[in-house]
Amino acid sequence: MKINLLLAASCFLLFSGATNNRKPSVKMIDPVDFSHVKITDNFWGPRLKSHATTTLAVCIDQIENQTGRIQNFENAAKGEGKHSGIFYDDSDVYKALEGIAYTLKNNPDPELEKKADEWIDKFAAAQQPDGYINTFYTLTGLDKRWRNMDKHEMYCAGHMTEAAVAYYQATGKHKLLDVAIRMADHMINIFGPGKRDWVPGHEEIELALVKLYGVTKDERYLNFANWLLEERGHGHGTKGGEGDWNIAYYQDDKPVREMTDIAGHAVRAMYLYCGMADVAALKNDTGYISALNRLWDDVVLRNMYVTGGIGSSHHNEGFTEDYDLPNYDAYCETCASVGMVYWNSRMNQFTGDSKYVDVLERSMYNGALAGISLSGDRFFYVNPLASKGKHHRKAWYGTACCPSQISRFIPSIGNYIYGTSADAVWVNLYIGNTSEFNIGKTLVKLQQETDYPWNGTVKLTVQSPMKKEIRLRIPGWCKSYKITVNGVKKSTAIEKGYAVLQKKWKAGDEITLTMDMPVEVVAADPRVKEDVGKRAIQRGPLVYCAEQADNANDFDKLTLSAATRFTTDFNPSLLNGVMTIKAGADKEIMFIPYYSWDNRDAGEMKVWMDYNSAK
């Protein structure tokens, strides 16, 4: 065992020195990762803090003490004892570790790092001599492994790999990366061209293998990810193995490059599309990109809620028919909204089109952010758009994918603010931060100051001289804006939703973007039956809802009309500080941001309000 680990470590060092002779990517934009971006604003800053102090503590307590997730690794290392929980529970530990890795980069914390190292030692000890790692099969019978494609063996391996890459990037330590490499090599020994077929029931390994390729530059991992994607749609699902196989649910009904409609399980679909995008970017596979464009239209135009949530059905945690978007019974898993952020970020990188960031922002500020309480210690799995008052966040779930997803998502939001291309800095999200990164040999230093999402004024200060374009995203919700450079008004070209500013920038140059942020009354596509005769309220990127806590009487009778006028008021003591909206209808209605609902006394909630068009 020791010898194998040493070998893996030396292989890793060898790979990390290899050069990449690949053709230029079809990607137009490279992301700037969170480690270059220090978030300083009053909206996300406190959330990052409460994530580090509260959310991670809840996850660690649940993983170590309230459930037997770490005990499973200890038992697997000894080869004795029982497995407790569900066969995919290892994945939550890995996702929490990924969140710890990002947090360590944002805010170094030796105690937290010690905890992570302890866990990693236990993972490494639980790895089998042939590289296999999965506590469920290790404790219930290794002879049964790799027989049932829906038992999440590759899914857990994928989350372990993502955690390994994140922890390596945050700390420089590669013990877990060596474990991930050995598991990847184990899988490649068994599966692949001329070997066994395999269709992972829950996608995730594909995008993780591309990350592993990213740090090792070992093309076998990229090629294996590509092969796994190409396995779909050829009748390989469960062939010769155990378990039932619903080809639509598992996204195995047709080859991925022929897909036109989102189907099956929503989170799996998101991870599949991310994997396709990652492979397409490195393999210049325009067939994948065409499929992703078709799928994006199907998701966003016909199957997405106003909150950016997807997957309307409890029955299959996924999709039914187009425009079937019930409100009380919406599923909208938190993980699927986070998946929309992951996928839309990748789509934006192909095209430089801001429409993808519009969706990313919608999912991030609404569907995903609702997934965690303001106190940082309770989580939604399901995110309906209306409630009779019985739906509440919980400290944890039997299937804990959503708490662990939030725990890795919040500390990594710095990933989505900036992008770069050879000649330009792309400003995608308006979040106060200081940042420092490179475009080739050019150092880029920026400071962003804003009270977004409460108001639309953003000041961007260039802090080092550079000769690059600055491309400011003009959000899809914004109908009127003004840009000044050093106090002088500029009219700029707009390309695919970005205002393009060209100048030889000096340190101290100031750009101000002022976006009008009125209250908008939004109608759904008329084919969405549930929302006929209803309207929703949106301001900037935030979707609003009415809660019974603010609208105690006649909640069922609240009605908007064409004559309704709105006023806004920032209330610093309500819900950690929110811009409230009051509608001066027959009976005044008060709205709060959707993400902040269910943080007070239990009561009814709705996003879509009755609308009287006659008035």
Residue closer to Zn ion (CB basis): 44 or 271: 271
Residue 56 parent element (H or E): helix 56-61
Angle at 146 between CA 143 and CA 152, to 5 degrees: 120
CB of 84 to Zn ion, least distance (A): 20
Region binding Zn ion by CB under 5 A among candidate stretches 102-110, 203-211, 218-226, 401-409: 401-409
Backbone angles phi, psi at 294, to 5 degrees: -60, -45
CB of 89 to Zn ion, least distance (A): 13
DSSP string across 193-215: TTSB----SS--HHHHHHHHHHH
Which amino acid type is present at position 224? Answer: F
DSSP string across 399-454: S-HHHHHHHHHGGGGGGGSEEEETTEEEE-----EEEEEEETTEEEEEEEEE-TTT
Region binding Zn ion by CB under 5 A among candidate stretches 105-113, 396-404, 421-429, 568-576: 396-404
Query: 330: which DSSP letter?
Result: -
Which amino acid type is present at position 93? Answer: V
CB of 383 to Zn ion, least distance (A): 10
Q: 487: buried, middle or exposed (CB in 10 Å: 19+, 13-18, 0-12)?
A: exposed
Where on the phi/psi map is residue 440: left (φ > 0), alpha (ψ -120 to 50), or beta? left
Region binding Zn ion by CB under 5 A among candidate stretches 64-72, 138-146, 230-238, 329-337: 329-337
Binding mask 345-384 for Zn ion (x = CB under 5 A): ----------------------------------------
Q: Total number of residues binding Zn ion (CB under 5 A)? A: 4
Q: Taking Cα atoms as reference points, which of 547, 567, 574 lies closest to residue 558?
A: 547
CA 297 to chain centre: 19
Residue closer to Zn ion (CB basis): 218 or 333: 333
Binding mask 272-301 for Zn ion (x = CB under 5 A): ------------------------------
120 binds Zn ion (CB under 5 A): no
Residue closer to Zn ion (CB basis): 333 or 358: 333
CB of 404 to Zn ion, least distance (A): 8
Catalytic (active site) residue 478? no
Question: 458 and 512 in contact (C-beta within 8 Å)?
Answer: yes
402 binds Zn ion (CB under 5 A): yes
Backbone angles phi, psi at 513, to 5 degrees: -110, 120
Residue closer to Zn ion (CB basis): 134 or 405: 405
Residue 571 parent element (H or E): strand 566-571
Region binding Zn ion by CB under 5 A among candidate stretches 332-340, 431-439, 464-472, 490-498: 332-340
Among 401, 406, 537, 549, binds Zn ion (CB under 5 A): 401
Residue closer to Zn ion (CB basis): 197 or 377: 377
Q: How many H-runs (helices) and E-runs (strands) does the chain carry?
A: 16, 23
Residue closer to Zn ion (CB basis): 338 or 609: 338
Residue closer to Zn ion (CB basis): 95 or 105: 95
CB of 186 to Zn ion, least distance (A): 27
CB of 397 to Zn ion, least distance (A): 8
The dihedral sign for the CA sequence 336, 337, 343, 347: positive
Binding mask 238-277 for Zn ion (x = CB under 5 A): ----------------------------------------
Antiparallel, parallel or unpaired: β 559-561 and 542-547: unpaired
Question: 358 and 428 in contact (C-beta within 8 Å)?
Answer: no
Antiparallel, parallel or unpaired: β 609-612 and 559-561: parallel
Q: Which residue out of 317, 361, 449, 530 is catalytically annotated?
A: 317
Residue closer to Zn ion (CB basis): 304 or 524: 304
Among 63, 335, 413, 424, binds Zn ion (CB under 5 A): 335
400 binds Zn ion (CB under 5 A): no
CB of 285 to Zn ion, least distance (A): 29
**Tokens standing for residue 542:** 């935030």
CB of 401 to Zn ion, least distance (A): 3
CB of 414 to Zn ion, least distance (A): 22
Which amino acid type is present at position 196? Answer: R
Region binding Zn ion by CB under 5 A among candidate stretches 185-193, 370-378, 399-407, 499-507: 399-407
Which amino acid type is present at position 604? Answer: E
For residue 567, count other CB atoms closer than 10 A to its CB: 11
Q: Which residue out of 59, 156, 335, 401 is catalytically annotated?
A: 401
**Tokens standing for residue 498:** 């970005």
Region binding Zn ion by CB under 5 A among candidate stretches 240-248, 271-279, 294-302, 333-341: 333-341
Residue closer to Zn ion (CB basis): 334 or 415: 334
Residue closer to Zn ion (CB basis): 206 or 333: 333
Residue closer to Zn ion (CB basis): 35 or 316: 316
Position closest to Zn ion via CB? 335
CB of 367 to Zn ion, least distance (A): 12
Residue closer to Zn ion (CB basis): 315 or 489: 315
CA distance 163 to 436: 24
Catalytic (active site) residue 11? no
Backbone angles phi, psi at 86, to 5 degrees: -105, 160
Binding mask 22-51 for Zn ion (x = CB under 5 A): ------------------------------
CA distance 527 to 322: 9
CB of 399 to Zn ion, least distance (A): 7
Region binding Zn ion by CB under 5 A among candidate stretches 53-61, 370-378, 397-405, 425-433: 397-405
Region binding Zn ion by CB under 5 A among candidate stretches 186-194, 221-229, 400-408, 413-421: 400-408
Where on the phi/psi map is residue 360: left (φ > 0), alpha (ψ -120 to 50), or beta? alpha
CA distance 595 to 577: 12
CA distance 432 to 19: 36
Print the SS3 string covering 455-513.
CCEEEEEECCCECCEEEEECCCCCCCEEEEECCEEECCEEECCEEEECCCECCCCEEEE
CB of 394 to Zn ion, least distance (A): 12
**Tokens standing for residue 62:** 């649940």
Residue 38 parent element (H or E): strand 37-39
Residues annotated as catalytic (active site), given as ranges: 317, 401
Residues that bind Zn ion (CB under 5 A): 333, 335, 401-402
